[in-house]
């Protein structure tokens, strides 16, 4: 049952829905991973990386809401449940316990890289079916790439 009627064809709606759902999963998990690292980071660069992690969390949460609302707007029900996120995310799991600051940076570089790779694929796949969704995904990708740049600069 779909309460919201989409202006997209069934074929395009399927492509767009998959792109938005994948983006939602990756963004929810990115926020969780960054917050887990934020709580457990230790080391001489604790404060700067700790604050930087909160910026990633804020970006991921903001964009996850935008992506989920875009999905709803086109008639796709977003699924951000824990089980769905755990089963479908591209991000590796975070180790338990304290995380050295250098390891925290590496974890974020890897997590952001995985999400950005998939976001760029989604940007490409939504070009023809729905430029509006593509625009949303382009903005998400741009913001994530800025965070990736900053964490990469931190890792040298």
Conformational region of residue 145, where left means phi above 0, alpha means psi within -120 to 50, and beta covers everything else: alpha
- Cα–Cα distance for residue pair 136/76, rounded to 1 Å: 15
- Cα–Cα distance for residue pair 129/109, rounded to 1 Å: 31
Using a pLDDT cut of 70, give the percent of the chain over it: 98
Is residue 156 over pLDDT 80?
no
Q: What is the pLDDT of residues 137-148, one digit of tens each?
A: 999 999 999 999
Predicted pLDDT of residue 4? 81
- Cα–Cα distance for residue pair 146/123, rounded to 1 Å: 17
Q: Residue 16 in contact with residue 126, Cβ under 8 Å?
A: yes
Mean pLDDT of the 72-100 span: 96
Predicted pLDDT of residue 126? 98
Rg (CA), the chain: 16
Predicted pLDDT of residue 155? 83
Could you write out the DSSP letters of every residue in the chain? --SSPPSS-HHHHHHHHHHHHHHHHHHHHHHHHHHHHHHHEESTTHHHHHHHHHHHHHHHHHHHHHHHHHHHHTT------HHHHHHH--SPPPPSS-EEHHHHHHHHHHHHHHHHHHHHHHHHHTTTT-HHHHHHHHHHHHHHHHHHHHHHHHT-
Exposure string over 110-124, b if 16+ CB within 10 A, otherwise e: ebbbbbbebbeebbe
Q: What is the pLDDT of residues 17-76, one digit of tens each?
A: 999 999 999 999 999 999 999 999 999 999 999 999 999 999 999 999 999 999 999 999
């Amino acid at each position: 049952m779909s309460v919201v009627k989409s202006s997209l064809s069934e074929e395009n709606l399927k492509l767009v829905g998959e792109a938005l759902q994948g983006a939602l999963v990756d963004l929810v998990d990115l926020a969780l991973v960054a917050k887990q690292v934020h709580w457990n980071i230790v080391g001489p660069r604790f404060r700067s990386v700790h604050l930087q992690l909160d910026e990633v969390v804020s970006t991921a949460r903001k964009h996850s809401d935008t992506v989920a609302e875009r999905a709803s707007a086109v008639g796709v029900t977003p699924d951000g449940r824990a089980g769905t996120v755990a089963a479908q995310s591209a991000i590796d799991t975070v180790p338990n316990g304290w995380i050295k600051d250098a390891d925290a940076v590496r974890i974020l570089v890897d997590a952001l890289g995985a999400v950005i790779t998939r976001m760029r694929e989604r940007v490409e796949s939504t070009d023809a079916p729905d430029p509006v969704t593509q625009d949303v995904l382009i903005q998400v990708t741009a913001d994530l790439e800025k965070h990736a740049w900053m964490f990469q600069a931190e890792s040298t």
